[in-house]
Structure 1
C-alpha cells in the first residue's frame, strides 16, 4: 500500500504549493555532500520560511511582526 495521499494535485493545493516552493527556493539551490548537511540546510530554510518571510495569509507581514502587534 502506498503512503502518499491519493487524488489530484488540485485537491492538495497547499501541499503542492509548498512542495514547489521547497524545490524552487531550497532544493535546487544546493548540492549536498552528506545527509547531515541536507538536514541542516533544510532546518535553516524551514525556520526562515516559517518565521522570517512575509506571509500573505496574515497581511503580507512576517510572523514575528504579527506577534509584536498582538502583544
Structure 2
C-alpha cells in the first residue's frame, strides 16, 4: 500500500493541478486505470495485471494459489518447538 501511495503522490498528485473536484476525479480515475491494468508490477513477475489475470484464467489457478506458491518461509520451523528450558533466558 505504501508503494501505491508513494507512486500516486509522485506521479499524479505532485504533478497535477486540479481545477475542480470533477477534474480531480477524472485524473485520479485515469491514473488508477493505467496503474491497475496496463502497468507491470514486480509483485506479479513484472506482468501487467491484465496479463497476470489472463495467465490465471489460462492455467485455471486462482490468485490465492499464486500467492501461496510465491510465499516462502523466512526460517524453517523446528519439529517440536523449544523443549530445552536452558534456551530461555530471564531478562534483568
TM-score, normalised by the number of residues in structure 1: 0.70
Matched, 1:36 2:29: no
Is 1:47 aligned to 2:26, yes or no?
no
Structure with more of its chain in helix, by fraction: 1
Q: How many pairs does the alignment contain?
A: 57
Over 3 Å off, 4+ runs: none
Which structure has the larger Rg? 2
CA deviation map 1:12-34 (0-9, x unaligned): xxx32222111101111111110
Higher relative contact order (CA 8 A, sep 6+): 1
- List alignment gaps of at least 5 residues for structure 1: 1-14
Q: Is there any run of 5+ residues in structure 2 with no aligned partner, and where?
A: 59-92
